[in-house]
Copies of this chain bind each other. A is one copy, B any other.
Amino acid sequence: MTRHRIVRAVPRAQSSTIAALAAAGVATVHEAIGRVGLLDAGIRPIQDLASIAGSAVTVSCQPGDNLMIHAAVEQVGNGDVLVVATTSPSTDGMIGELLATSLQARGCSGLVIDAGVRDKAALTQMGFPAWTRAVHAQGTSKTRAGSVNTPIACGGQLVDAGDVVVADDDGVCIVPWAGAEVALAAAAARLDKEAKTRRALAAGELGLDLYGLRTTLSDLGVEYVDIR
C-alpha cells in the first residue's frame, strides 16, 4: 500500500556554508543549533580524524536489502552524503567496497548508515569515510522496494533530502537545509567565544570564575568542607 518513491530533486545549501560547517565540527554545530539533530551515540565512524559535511541524499531500505542504495547512487551529486536507514533495525553490511567505489565515482563525500558496512579495510584505504552502527560482513539482497530522498528517521533523528550532514569523531549532526546559514553564523560566534575561553583555561583560569559558577554552587547549597 505504501507508495515508494525516488525523488530527483534535492535542495542543497551553499557549498561554502557546508564547508564551513564541516570545519566547525559536530559538537560546535550541535550546540549552535540548540542541541538538536544529533544522531545517537551508537553510530560511530569506522576511521579516525575524518571530518565531513554534505547535503543528505536519504535512503529508506527494507532490512536485509540494499536495492534502494543502488537507486540512490544515481541521485548523488558532488559532495553529497548518503544517509541510509532501514524500516526495522538491522546491522547487516549493506554497503561495501563495490558500492563505495560507485559512490566515490559520483563525488559522494561519505556515508551515514543506521545499519552496517563491510569491507572496512578497503573503505578506509580508498578514503571513503563512513559512520555506522556495525561493521559486519553479512550480505544483503537487491529485491525489495523503498524510497530515496524522502524524510527518514536515522539514529533517532529526522533527516530529509538536502539537510546538511556534519560528521566527525564525535558523531553525526543534522542541520535542516533551510537553517544552514543561521546555523553557521551561530557556530562561528561560538567558535570565537570558545577560542577565548580556551586561552583563559589554558592559562589556569577556572571555569568556576570564568562562567560565574561559584554563585550557582552557593545558591544550590553545595558546601565546601575541609575534613572528610
Interface residues of A (CB under 8 A from B): 1-9, 25-27, 30-38, 40-41, 44, 48-49, 51, 62-64, 67-68, 70-71, 73-74, 85, 87-89, 91-93, 96-99, 101-102, 104-106, 114, 116, 118-121, 134-139, 142-147, 149, 151-154, 156-158, 161, 168-171, 173, 179, 182-183, 186, 194, 197-198, 201-208, 211, 213, 216-217, 220-228
Count chain B CB atoms within 10 A of each CB in A48, A70, A85, A206 and give the residue with the most.
A70
Task: Determine the chain B residues whose CB is within 8 A of the CB of A8 once the complex forms.
Answer: 224-226
Closest to A176 in B: B2
Count chain B CB atoms within 10 A of each CB in A3, A88, A104 and give the residue with the most.
A88
Task: Report the Cα distance A105→B63, complex, angstroms.
Answer: 32
Task: Determine the chain B residues whose CB is within 8 A of the CB of A142 once the complex forms.
Answer: 211, 213, 216
Do B1 and A179 have beta carbons less than 8 Å apart?
yes
Task: Determine the chain B residues whose CB is within 8 A of the CB of A114 once the complex forms.
Answer: 156
8 A-B pairs besides A38-B87, A137-B171, A145-B221 with CB distance below 8 A are A6-B222, A70-B208, A71-B222, A89-B156, A98-B201, A105-B202, A151-B158, A153-B153
With A41-B89, A70-B208, A121-B49 in contact, do A105 and B220 touch (Cβ < 8 Å)? no
Do A204 and B139 have beta carbons less than 8 Å apart?
no
- Tell me, rounded to whole Å, the shortest Cβ–Cβ distance linking A38 to chain B: 6
Do B1 and A33 have beta carbons less than 8 Å apart?
yes
With A27-B119, A38-B136, A222-B71 in contact, do A198 and B101 touch (Cβ < 8 Å)? yes
Task: Determine the chain B residues whose CB is within 8 A of the CB of A143 once the complex forms.
Answer: 216
- Tell me, rounded to whole Å, the shortest Cβ–Cβ distance linking A113 to chain B: 13
Closest to A138 in B: B88
Task: Determine the chain B residues whose CB is within 8 A of the CB of A224 once the complex forms.
Answer: 5-6, 8
With A38-B137, A121-B169 in contact, do A225 and B6 touch (Cβ < 8 Å)? yes
